[in-house]
Amino acid sequence: MKLTNRSKVVSDKKMTFGESIYIPAILKGMKITMSHAVKTVFGKGLATISYPEEVRPRVKIWRGEHVLKLDNEGRERCTACGLCAVACPAEAITMTAAERTKEEKDLYREEKYASVYEINMLRCIFCGMCEEACPKSAIYLTDRIVNVEENRGSFIYGKDKLVEKINARIDVSERQSELQKKMMK
Ligand code: SF4
Ligand code: SF4
């Protein structure tokens, strides 16, 4: 059954002489390359930018570095249920759950919290499945780009990097569904 008209029937016809010597195909490819080179030399339609001085605009729902959100009272929303880790196709998330004590009521919203929460940024494919799976609106991807590091261990982000700072809240409203926005209140 054909679902779209995008598929092409592959032909196994014999190559013509022109096709078998590849020269027309090479010239065609070089024509495209030269047209881009000319555009670049004369400054029209430049395909490159001077990164990092210049940065391309990113859409508001860009999927970059994660944030673990705090609630309005500054308590961590994550309850260490593990659903994000189960949903993660790259198996990039690990965590350790702990019970909240009476004295920790102002730190953690739920009775259970993640004493350790780690995301391996080298494994992550920024698919956003973790934020979709989270029942507590605790994890979101943001428009921040993951920094360059010099060793593999530094790409394992712990709570020190993931939990948002109370005095530097991160607005994720652009990525939230109406239901998630209600849950944040
Ligand atoms: S964005 Fe995707 S790959 Fe990355 S941690 Fe979340 S679920 Fe895993
Ligand atoms: S971030 Fe959300 S889904 Fe992941 S463990 Fe915490 S509450 Fe559960």
Which bound ligand lies closest to the C-alpha atom of 133? 2
Beta bridge partners of 74: none
Per DSSP, the residues of 111-167 read SEEEEEEEEETTT-----HHHHH-TTS-EEE-SPPPPP-SSGGGGEE-HHHHBPBTT
Do 71 and 77 form a contact (C-beta atoms < 8 A)? yes
Mean pLDDT throughout 15-22?
Answer: 90
pLDDT top residue among 89 and 45: 89
Name the DSSP letter for residue 145: P
Instruction: Quickly name the fold that domain 66-183 has.
Output: Alpha-Beta Plaits (3.30.70)
The reply to whether omega before 135 is within 30° of 0 (cis) is no
Residue 179 CA: distances (Å) to CA of 140, 169, 183: 14, 20, 6
Quote the DSSP letter at residue 136.
T
Asked if 131 contacts 140 with a C-beta cutoff of 8 angstroms, the reply is yes
* Tokens 């494919």, residue located: 125
Which residues have CB under 8 Å from 154's CB, separation 6+? Answer: none
Question: For residue 57, what pLDDT band results from cuts at 50, 70 and 90?
Answer: confident
* Residue ranges at the known binding site for [4Fe-4S] cluster: 78, 81, 84, 88, 124, 127, 130, 134
Give the pLDDT score at 2: 66
Q: Which two tokens stand for residue 181?
A: 């926005």
Distance (Å) from CA 123 to ligand 1 centroid: 8
Beta-carbon neighbour count of residue 173 at 10 Å? 10
In b/e form, how buried is each residue of 111-129, taking b as 16+ CB within 10 angstroms?
Answer: eebbeebbbbbeebebebb
Q: Which residue in the block uniquely carries the two structure tokens 């944040």?
A: 184
pLDDT of residue 1: 62
Distance 159 CA to ligand 1 centre (A): 16
Q: What average pLDDT does this structure show over 3-8? A: 74
pLDDT 10s digits, 115-125: 999 999 999 99
* Atom of ligand 1 at shortest range from CA of 131: 6
Q: What is the pLDDT of residue 131?
A: 94
Q: How confident is the model at residue 3 (pLDDT cuts 50, 70, 90)?
A: low
| C-alpha 77 to ligand 2 mean position (Å) | 8
pLDDT band at 51 (very low <50, low <70, confident <90, very high): confident
- What does the pLDDT look like over 64-106, one tens digit per residue? 999 999 999 999 999 999 999 999 999 999 999 999 999 999 9
Q: Domain-by-domain residue ranges, the chain?
A: 16-48, 66-183
Testing ligand 1's pocket by substitution, the residue of 130, 134, 141, 161 carrying the most ligand atoms inside 8 A of its CB is 130
